Amino acid sequence: MDYKRILTIQDISCVGQCSLTVALPILSASGAETAILPSAVLSTHTAGFTGYTFRDLTDDIPAIASHWKKEGLYFDAIYTGYLGSERQIEYVKDIMNTLGKKGAVNIVDPAMADNGKLYPAFDESFVRQMKKLAFSADIILPNITEACLLTGYEYKEKYDENYINGLISEMAACGARTVILTGVGYDSDTTGVVVYSNGKTEYYRHKKISRGCHGTGDVYASAFVGAYIGGKTLFESAKIAADFTVLCIENTIGDSTHTYGVKFEPVLGEYIKMIK
């Protein structure tokens, strides 16, 4: 297997099992060299905690990127998650345009919303900037809320296949080439992921666990990126990421005191087996 170098750009939530504290170990477990660019440093994530600290690192980014250029450090894939500011998005776009090796894959998880709502730190103007980044990427990994915000499509909690096909068409019309749409369930016991690429749509249905856990979007996206950059197909990668995320949730739900993230570390070995 080729040894690939991935850059992931997302925040450090010091405690909270999301963003870089999830992406770095999962991508490393996939066998790729993983470079990081922290978008911001927070004491915890913003879902369910109050009084968290937030240091935006936007102003550090241009100097970091220009040092990498000077050193000739380029990447096989650039994968972005939760970003620190609207202004930062321009810098991230520039990094995608200039620091990828030939044929590099740009992957955007437009981590900004869930369950019909934007995360507390973001507003409409952030969404407008995120659209530019998302629709210039090779692969986008939104949930339904994020896909609706990116396209202006009406958000619905209850929906059918026609609704989802309409949402995918809107994404394609806005310029999306490959979409991994997460959290798509058509009945109460299952959920799944829609994989859209080259005009073709496939669906992977899997078990739904009733307790929603924070950080699973980041576990999913990181597991997907690791599998895909490691050589699995889009659909295999989407399936592996889903199966691994379910495993992480199953490993967590028995512990009612563990509320802020998923206990993914004890099952990382299973992820390594899945991508072999």
Closest-CA residue to 147 (of 120, 121, 122, 112) = 112
By beta-carbon proximity to ligand PXL, the closer residue of 34 and 232 is: 34
CA distance 110 to 25: 20
Using CA atoms, how far residue 239 sits from 38, 78, 217, 233, in Å, is 28, 21, 14, 10
Residues 116-135 as x/- pattern, contact with ligand PXL by CB under 6 A = ---x----------------
Scanning 45-53, 66-74, 153-161, 185-193 for contacts with ligand PXL by CB under 6 A, the matching segment is 45-53
Q: Does 36 bind ligand PXL (CB under 6 A)?
A: no
Q: Does 85 bind ligand PXL (CB under 6 A)?
A: no
Count of residues binding ligand PXL (CB under 6 A)?
A: 14
- Two tokens at 121? 């730190």
Scanning 93-101, 203-211, 215-223, 226-234 for contacts with ligand PXL by CB under 6 A, the matching segment is 215-223
Contact of 138 with 246, CB cutoff 8 Å: no
Among 6, 7, 9, 18, binds ligand PXL (CB under 6 A): 18
Q: State the minimum distance, in angstroms, from the CB of residue 175 to ligand PXL.
A: 24
By beta-carbon proximity to ligand PXL, the closer residue of 11 and 76 is: 11
Among 68, 75, 79, 82, binds ligand PXL (CB under 6 A): 82
Contacts of 70 (CB under 8 A, 6+ apart): none
Q: State the minimum distance, in angstroms, from the CB of residue 45 to ligand PXL.
A: 4
Q: Does 26 bind ligand PXL (CB under 6 A)?
A: no
Q: Does 141 bind ligand PXL (CB under 6 A)?
A: no
CA distance 134 to 75: 19
Q: Does 178 bind ligand PXL (CB under 6 A)?
A: no
Q: Does 110 bind ligand PXL (CB under 6 A)?
A: no
- Two tokens at 19? 């963003």
Q: Does 192 bind ligand PXL (CB under 6 A)?
A: no
Q: Does 11 bind ligand PXL (CB under 6 A)?
A: yes
Q: State the minimum distance, in angstroms, from the CB of residue 11 to ligand PXL.
A: 5
CA distance 8 to 159: 33
CA 148 to chain centre: 16
By beta-carbon proximity to ligand PXL, the closer residue of 81 and 100 is: 81
Q: Which residues bind ligand PXL (CB under 6 A)?
A: 11, 13, 18-19, 42, 45-47, 82, 111, 119, 215, 217-218
